[in-house]
Chain A
Amino acid sequence: MSALLSIRDLTVHYRTRRGPIPAVDRFSLEIREGDSVGLVGESGCGKSTVALAIMRYLGTNGRVAGGQILFRGRDIATLSPRALRDYRGGEVAMVYQEPTSALNPSMTAGQQLAETFRDSDPRSVRATVREALAEVQIGDPERVAAAYPHQLSGGQQQRVVIAMALLSRPKLLVLDEPTTSLDATIEAGIIDLVGVLQRRHGMAVLYVSHNLGLIRQTCRRLVVMYAGQAIETGDTERLLVRPRHPYTAGLLACLPRPNSHKQRNPLHPIVGQLPPPHALPPACRFAPRCAFASPGRCDTLAPSLVESDAGSVRCIRATEIDLSIPPPSPEEPNYPTTNDVVIAARGVRKTFALPIRGFAELFRRRRLTANDGVDIVARHGETVAVVGESGSGKTTLARLIAGLDTASTGEIVVLGEDVARTPVADRRAALRSTLQMVFQDPNDTLNPSHSVARQISRAIRKLGSPTLTASARRAEVARLLSLVRLPPDVASRLPDQLSGGQRQRVSIARALAGSPQVLLADEPASALDVSVQAAVIDLLLDVQRRAGTTLVYISHDLAMVRYLADRVYVMYRGRVVESGPVGALFAPPYHPYTEALLSAIPSVDGPSDQRIVLSPAGQAPGRGCPFAPRCPRRTGEICDTTPPPVQCPEGDHMFSCHLTPDDLGRRQAMPSREGR
């Protein structure tokens, strides 16, 4: 097969006020017709810049400083404006990360698709649009074509974007993190769709992603980037099973594996952080963070990409180091737990009044039920995970426990005190110190206007010891920073001057100021890169080990939950549909929803051919089971009309379903995907 696209020694610079900074450094890549290639790396490694360079779309401050990109032997830098237009869209199409901003909010999906054929006969255009939407497996093309983007779910929007990209039958489809903003069950559907379309049209696909599990399912070949350079390439299976570059191995060690648990296998975060592009290490760019770096060699000799049968690798020690042996774990982790119940919530219900629409609603406000009779228990020293898709009510539950919102009915007993209707401002100071929260978004968890020291000392004064002298408080700030493994000079910085991972550590340090017994963590690592994510999780577990802290971990990342949780609650539409110890929950029998969630986990190892793809959540639940409209195991009328009974197969494992554990235990024959 001939090369469809070949990138040769591509170097891209971005112009900034500080002078040009290199974003991509002599990057080479060859994509053949019909090939699927994955480009992975953490944020800032230059992978999106490569994607944009392929589109010749670097913006006003980006410049190709060297090398060339050949499409079927033609250098795309030489294309005339007209030829460039035909090239973009016609030969190569791109799907961006955020479908909401890729679609025009003031046009219907159908109009946007029809734009491509402005000059054709309207009737045939309409038929083409319908076909295009049906091709991306949209169930109701007529309705979707007539809908504005805001009336579509995230998954549907992304399907429309893909349909648009495919209209002109491109030879190469570039997908830049196409599913990062979507729920796992929806993500699985999009990934499958791209695979189907690729095979049907024989397109080549370049997948840009930070998610190694996802890449594994879609790509035959992988390129791993670090600090603007390709550091390892090769067949996906080989590269994920036997990585040859320490960075690739490090990335894999950051991921929780299906059979690992915090008790047995600690995660191994990569130390340090990505060097900024204007201060790159002189020789090997990974050397300062590399556990295998040999002084005198790795910091003086710049490695080049060495080709071999198994792919290429940029490491001078690639042949002499053994990456298969994981670094020894420091000590046998021991998590002290007792049976004391720290949080006990019973029948928690929270409704929000919706905005008034129309006269009748003045008297009967429509209400949204975010939590609908939730029971949850957390014991001392335990990690309790609450999982579910976005909109399942898990964050609302956390906010109710925290007192940031108050429950409509039900009780939330924290350390023997019912606080369901006590907002945090009215709670006892001691209770506030005891129960702290770590928030999701590292970008707004810290106040951008105040220094780290100021924010932590404020927390010390309010949660810990209000009477400390200024110097004692400074010492306490330094102690808390060292607890979260940050150097003391971070204290004087503003949040803007910290990376996402550092900010999240500061926010943990702030929560620890009053030595809390309970930490509520609302997706504390979901916005972070894998290596940083591992470090933050590691840190939370470290805190838990030392202080016997109860961790309530809110997440949609089931792989991580399986790794760190002791007990798990699965929420769907404001209700707990299944709960139990992590071992029981992650083994059959499952609630059908849990089963779907589990099957959607993109994994870097183990078979993953069978996935349950759920239709997007749509209809409001009736009186019956809230999951019935999407349930692949729906038995019949009873699911829609009768609330499912709570069943208890063993111990404290329970779920609500009309099917018996025996029914559910028998693995249903799932529709297998089209051959890989």
Chain B
Amino acid sequence: MTVNGAPTGYDVPAAGGLGLRHLARSPAALIGLAIIVFWVIVAIAAPWLAPHPPNTPLQALLPPGSETARGAFWLGTDQLGRDILSRVIWGSRRVLLYAPLATAFAYAIGITIGLMAGYWRGWIDQALSRVSDVVLAFPVLVLYILIITTIGASGLNIVIAVVFASTPGVMRIVRGLTLDARGRNYVAAAQMRGEHPLAIMFVEILPNVRGPLIVDACLRMGYVTIGIGVLGFLGLGLPPPDPDWGGMVHEARALAFVFPHIVLFPCAAISSLVLGFNLLADGLRELGRQ
């Protein structure tokens, strides 16, 4: 990296500038990113990519690779005769809408309270940390089920459940990073010139802790993807008939041994997306270490 042609000495800034050119040095990150981009394109182009309407019963339980008068069913059809390929394609939209949305909200809240707890410390930190400890003491899945069974299954409620369960984790990370950053002299310099505490938190501290946060965000997207899948599998996901990968497995679980293809493809879709997020996170972490 050069600015005005001058060498910098550091190729990866400590703060974690993570441009595409840096990614190119980590195969893991590149593969992860490719998988994620693939699914994003699939989700955006679903109306053009899907060969059949996702919710229309056509012909039940066709095996993968079937050719019929109504067209080809490359991944077969399910017990209601819906094209599995089309449902997997349309299903990507849901997970790629809710997982990032929920993660983003969890981060917005987690960063804010994490910065406050870490910067102010004292009783504010004590209060926020104890509350987050309580939430973290519950298994995530139990929390999801508790929340969804209480407030009902809908897109918004899934986001609420995920935000509630993930925010304490984000807060803890941000708090730890902030505790370290607040002792830096540039923070003292900002205090010396009378910056508002919020300005110090968001302008001085936050940009310098973004590296580990980006890595964590990728990992967390993977967990949230799994979480949303599990909710669907437990029948607590989005209401039918619109396709949703976890829900597809849920509906077909009784037939899984006889017609494995119905559950196999949505499962593979979930796994690949989670794998993509994890690979990207691993790659970024490695790059950050260099």
Chain B, interface size category, equals: 20 to 34
For chain B residues 52-111, which have a beta carbon within 8 Å of chain A? none
Q: Across the two chains, which residue of chain A brings its CB closest to B181?
A: A444
A441 and B183 CA atoms in complex are apart in Å by 12
Min CB distance B113 to A, Å, is 21
For chain A residues 412-468, which have a beta carbon within 8 Å of chain B? 424-425, 427, 429, 432, 436-437, 439-441, 444-450, 455, 458-459, 462-463
Is B9's CB within 8 Å of the partner chain A?
yes
Min CB distance B158 to A, Å, is 34
Q: A437-B189, A449-B15, A510-B189 are in contact. Are A493 and B194 (CB under 8 A)?
A: no
Is A402's CB within 8 Å of the partner chain B?
yes
B7–A278 CB distance below 8 A: yes
Min CB distance A13 to B, Å, is 17
Is B14's CB within 8 Å of the partner chain A?
yes
Is A121's CB within 8 Å of the partner chain B?
no
A424–B13 CB distance below 8 A: no
Which chain B residues border A424 with CB–CB below 8 Å?
A: 191-192, 194
Is B251's CB within 8 Å of the partner chain A?
no
Is B186's CB within 8 Å of the partner chain A?
yes
Is A494's CB within 8 Å of the partner chain B?
yes
A404 and B195 CA atoms in complex are apart in Å by 13
Which chain B residues border A492 with CB–CB below 8 Å?
A: 3-4
Which chain B residues border A432 with CB–CB below 8 Å?
A: 192-194
Q: Across the two chains, which residue of chain B brings its CB closest to A449?
A: B207
Is B37's CB within 8 Å of the partner chain A?
no
A439–B189 CB distance below 8 A: yes
Is A75's CB within 8 Å of the partner chain B?
no
Q: Across the two chains, which residue of chain A brings its CB closest to B186?
A: A447
Chain A, interface size category, equals: 35 or more
A279 and B6 CA atoms in complex are apart in Å by 10
Which chain A residues border B193 with CB–CB below 8 Å?
A: 432, 436, 458-459, 462-463, 513-514
Q: A437-B192, A449-B208, A492-B4 are in contact. Are A444 and B13 (CB under 8 A)?
A: no
Min CB distance B1 to A, Å, is 9
Is B184's CB within 8 Å of the partner chain A?
yes
Residue interface mask B157-194, A partner, CB < 8 A = 1: 00000000000000000000000000011101111111
Which chain B residues border A482 with CB–CB below 8 Å?
A: none
Is B10's CB within 8 Å of the partner chain A?
yes
A448–B14 CB distance below 8 A: yes
Is A82's CB within 8 Å of the partner chain B?
no
A425–B186 CB distance below 8 A: no
For chain A residues 485-519, which have a beta carbon within 8 Å of chain B? 489, 492-494, 496-497, 507, 510-511, 513-514
Q: Across the two chains, which residue of chain A brings its CB closest to B25?
A: A17
A444 and B11 CA atoms in complex are apart in Å by 18
Min CB distance A73 to B, Å, is 40
A440 and B186 CA atoms in complex are apart in Å by 11
Is B125's CB within 8 Å of the partner chain A?
no
Residue interface mask A592-618, B partner, CB < 8 A = 1: 000000000000000000000000000
Cross-chain pairs A/B with CB under 8 angstroms, 6 sampled: A404-B191, A429-B194, A447-B204, A447-B208, A496-B14, A497-B6
Spell out A's residues near B (CB within 8 Å): 17, 276, 278-279, 402-404, 424-425, 427, 429, 432, 436-437, 439-441, 444-450, 455, 458-459, 462-463, 489, 492-494, 496-497, 507, 510-511, 513-514
- Contacts A436-B193, A437-B189, A494-B8 given; 5 further ones with Cβ under 8 A? A444-B184, A444-B186, A458-B195, A459-B193, A496-B9
8 interchain residue pairs of minimum CB distance: A449-B207, A439-B185, A462-B193, A447-B186, A444-B184, A445-B185, A497-B8, A449-B15
